[in-house]
Amino acid sequence: MNFISLTYALFLGAVFLLYWRLPRRGQSLLILIASYVFYGWWDYRFCALIFISSIIDFSVGLALGRKFERRTRRALLAISLVANLGMLGFFKYFDFFRENLAQLGSAVGWHMDGVTLDIILPVGISFYTFQTMSYTIDVYRGHLKPTSAFVDYMAYVSFFPQLVAGPIERATSLLPQFLSERSFDLSEARDGLRRILWGVAKKLILADNLAVIVELVYGNPGAYSETKLVFATVCFAFQIYCDFSAYSDIAIGTAQLFGIKLMRNFAYPYFSQSVAEFWRRWHISLSTWFRDYVFIPLGGSRGKRRTMIVSMLITFVISGLWHGASWNFVIWGAINGLLIVPSALQKNPRRLTVKDVPGGESYFPSVWVALKIGLTFGFICLGWVFFRAETLQDAWSMVVRMLSFWSWTGGGETLNAGVSSRIMSMLLVVFVAVEWMQRREVHALCRLERWPMWTRWLLYTLILWLGIAVQPVRVGDFIYFQF
Amino acid sequence: MRNFILRTLLFFAIQVLVCAVLYIAGRGDESEDRHYLSSLIDKHERLDSMSRPRLIFVGGSSLMFGINSEHIEKATGRATVNMGVNAALGLDFILSDIEPKISSDDLVVLSLEYGFFLKDIAQPPSLWHALGIAPHNILAMGPSKIPWIMDNGLYPIRQLARHPFTGRPEMNDLYSRNNINERGDIVSRPERYNIEIKAPVSAEESNSARRQAVSRIVLFRERVAKQGAKVIVLYPYLPKSHIKVRGDFYKSVHLALGEEGFSIVGTPAEASLKDEYFYDSNYHLTTEGAAIRTKRIVAQLKPVIRSMSEQTH
């Protein structure tokens, strides 16, 4: 079920009304049923995967709660990891690894005629497997007591707002919320609706319209001048941000309606002053997941600097692969890993975190800060080329052409995207300005409560109808569904 | 809580009001009536007023751009109507739209685009336009279409929101209602390629989609049979280059329909012409291409109609 549909609006309304009439256990059961209906709307067969994954981790969690010796506990953890990563590996990476092995084999003279299974990737598999694995790992590490509340646990894994594209919640944060009484909080619910509206606006007004331009240029990059390649890359940077952060906003806003708090997933990443800061502000739930479960176990930042750099690179490469079974994603991960190295080598760096105001406190940034923000955005865009390009060759030739400023030609050609590039550029400027002004808040519509009701409602109505009016013919799926 | 729900409902009521205002503001625009999809109205008028028994062609735009109904009517002696408009209306709409109109001894010729056997190819702009003309088909299409209607329900609201500012997009003369004659065929069309026909992509066969489509067509045949009419299948015409690349898929459709006992006249391979007989789509024939197809159809239908007449007498 797509968030941007009448189906979801009706579904959400019905679940909301029923939810607050039920006792705590009934609420969790309702969330569980609603989540499976939500997921089954795409393909009911894949509900079995979430169920299997949840059952395995629930059982492993319970077993880890008993006093076994270390070896047994490790074996139990291994069952969970093998089952979840095995499922992920099969559905997401089987064809990729088979093709690459076959190519490698033929390069050394071995002909491997394996089968290509053309496996359909279940929506959101990378998200819920990571979420359920984090539960088992936390129980194994002793950070969390295993739960015996089956329905609450199942609801935690399948919680529909964040099931298919995150935020990837930790059991330590989300599970206790399902295990305790929830009460309706009017201001949270209102803020939730505002956040949903802001997400819908970002998706319909910006992401889906930018997608048309990006698809046109990235579908045939050889046909476009360097300026158009740069323009399309900037468009993609905002497309993916508006698309993914819109999903997160709608997910978090929906959860607020049910009295559940999800973690923040984006904190104005494009106002970051370094690539390292960008990764503290972008897809925060995944970045922190990789930090806690991959980077730190690999050595983290405690050991030697060389170990830290190697761990960092490995983490970013794995993170790239997590996004998709393609070399493009691996290289995208590696590029970001390499771009972070300078920050890691700095002695006593002043680390800007999510809690800092992005871009600094002052209303207008200093030239130096603006330069750093611009440069960071440029580096991030460089990575996005590999993320979005259809093939590695396309990505490489685009990067080479875009970086060869001295030989740029043309640029006068028109983009027959059905959407005016000029209008989209103007909308982007407005969007960046709004985000800049609101960057102290969690989301752009956060502080509207202070406005008189009629002006608020007028603004909401305008945003809603602008979104409806300018959306393309067919609302696209969220980009991160494919991961 | 109560306050929150009431306020939310009030907000949605305001949005419904905005919707109503936009609807009223957009009324009286004739561009909708000029759109080629509105030819469905004319086709139904013709269908209702024709002498019986009738020869009814059912399918997508491959029919509208692919046959000369007047010629077929003269050659077969049966009042003919071409109901083909656009495959993007989806199989459910196309079949549901015609089912209640069938009467005894009609011959229904199904010429369905292959896309129907790959996936649900209904597109919001076309289907919503057609549902605006024939809203009763929402019920006729059955409960399986409800998720589609809900998932794509934003589209008509989008059109309402855009209309007062941009108007409905005008189609070019080729795709206008005026360019479709009383029998439902395109009147004039370019006699050379407008655009290059893209190389066909090799199709990933979809068994479940094919099964679904075939079972829907079987249901249509049963309903039509109850009314004393007959259904036969003729394949839409494609460029020969497509048959080469996707031949296996077309053959699988042929086999699936054959297994269900459909009366099929010809094979997918026979239903093809050189690439130069097509112009802006793989299914749209030039006048010359349509003439060849019409001639072949007449030859294929004559024995069928003769045998139907003999059975009646």
B23 shares contact with chain A (CB less than 8 Å) = no
Chain A residues with CB-CB distance to B2 below 8 A: none
- The DSSP line for B56-122 is EEEESHHHHTT--HHHHHHHH-SEEEE----GGGHHHHHHHHHGGG--TT-EEEEE--GGGGTS---
* Cβ neighbours of residue B92 closer than 8 Å, sequence gap 6 or more: B122, B141, B142, B144, B145, B216
Residues 192-231 of B with CB under 8 A from A: 204
- Structural tokens at position A473: 């013919």
pLDDT digits (tens, 9 = 90+) for B275-300: 888 887 888 888 889 999 999 999 99
| 3-state class (DSSP) for residue B285 | strand
Residues 246-265 of A with CB under 8 A from B: none
**Contact assignment for B3 to A186 by CB distance below 8 Å:** yes
Q: How confident is the model at residue B109 (pLDDT cuts 50, 70, 90)?
A: very high
Top pLDDT among B205 and A397 is at A397
β partners of residue B180? B186
**Contact assignment for B18 to A190 by CB distance below 8 Å:** no
Least confident of A68-82, A386-400, A413-427: A413-427
Whether A131 has a pLDDT exceeding 70, the answer reads yes
Least confident of A236-245, B129-138, B179-188, B202-211: B202-211
pLDDT digits (tens, 9 = 90+) for A16-48: 999 999 999 999 999 999 999 999 988 888 899
Q: Do residues B288 and B276 touch, judged by C-beta distance below 8 A?
A: no
Least confident of A276-280, A305-309, A376-380: A305-309
Token pair 């709409």 in the structure block, residue: B93
Q: What is the predicted pLDDT for the residue at A475?
A: 67
A115 shares contact with chain B (CB less than 8 Å) = no
Least confident of A24-28, A354-358, B236-240, B266-270: A354-358
Query: What's the whole-number mean pLDDT along residues A300-326?
Result: 88
Q: Do residues B60 and B110 touch, judged by C-beta distance below 8 A?
A: no
- Find the residue in B nearest to A460 (Cα): B11
Token pair 């067509």 in the structure block, residue: B217
Question: How far apart are alpha carbons B64 and B113 in whole angstroms?
Answer: 12
Query: How many beta-carbon pairs under 8 angstroms link A with B?
Result: 57
pLDDT digits (tens, 9 = 90+) for A354-384: 778 888 888 888 899 999 999 999 999 999 9
- Comparing CA positions, the residue from B142, B54, B149 lying closest to residue B103 is B54
Q: What is the predicted pLDDT for the residue at B74?
A: 92
Q: How confident is the model at residue B15 (pLDDT cuts 50, 70, 90)?
A: very high
Please tell me which of A34-48, A106-120, B152-166 the model is most confident about, judged by mean pLDDT. Answer: A34-48
* Cβ neighbours of residue A198 closer than 8 Å, sequence gap 6 or more: A246, A249, A443, A444, A445, A463
- Comparing CA positions, the residue from B301, B233, B224 lying closest to residue B261 is B233
Whether B201 has a pLDDT exceeding 60, the answer reads no
Q: How far is A183 from chain B (nearest CA, A)?
A: 10
Q: How confident is the model at residue A50 (pLDDT cuts 50, 70, 90)?
A: very high
Q: How confident is the model at residue A165 (pLDDT cuts 50, 70, 90)?
A: confident
Q: What is the predicted pLDDT for the residue at B140?
A: 80
H/E run at residue A274:
none
Would you give the DSSP letter of residue B234? E
The set of catalytic residues of A is 323
Q: What is the predicted pLDDT for the residue at B200?
A: 59
Q: Do residues B254 and B294 touch, judged by C-beta distance below 8 A?
A: no
Top pLDDT among A374 and B36 is at A374
Query: What's the whole-number mean pLDDT along residues A402-428?
Result: 78
Q: What is the predicted pLDDT for the residue at A101?
A: 81
**Contact assignment for A468 to B157 by CB distance below 8 Å:** yes
B245 shares contact with chain A (CB less than 8 Å) = no
pLDDT digits (tens, 9 = 90+) for A219-273: 889 888 888 999 999 999 999 999 999 999 999 999 999 999 999 999 999 999 9
pLDDT digits (tens, 9 = 90+) for B172-196: 677 888 888 888 898 887 766 655 6
A354 shares contact with chain B (CB less than 8 Å) = no
pTM: 0.85
Q: What is the predicted pLDDT for the residue at B167?
A: 59
Quote the percentage of chain A above a pLDDT of 90.
62
**Contact assignment for B158 to A118 by CB distance below 8 Å:** no
**Contact assignment for A186 to B1 by CB distance below 8 Å:** yes
Residue type, A200: V
End-to-end CA distance of chain B: 74
| 3-state class (DSSP) for residue A8 | helix
A471 shares contact with chain B (CB less than 8 Å) = yes
DSSP H helices in chain B: 2-26, 31-34, 39-49, 61-64, 69-76, 90-98, 124-133, 137-140, 146-151, 154-166, 207-226, 240-259, 287-312
Nearest CB neighbour to A461, from listed B4, B18, B153:
B18
B165 shares contact with chain A (CB less than 8 Å) = yes
End-to-end CA distance of chain A: 16
Q: What is the predicted pLDDT for the residue at A268?
A: 94
Top pLDDT among A230 and A302 is at A230
**Contact assignment for A190 to B4 by CB distance below 8 Å:** yes
Q: How many residues does chain A have?
A: 483
Q: How confident is the model at residue A416 (pLDDT cuts 50, 70, 90)?
A: low
**Contact assignment for B158 to A474 by CB distance below 8 Å:** no
Phi, psi of A470 (to 5 degrees): -95, 0
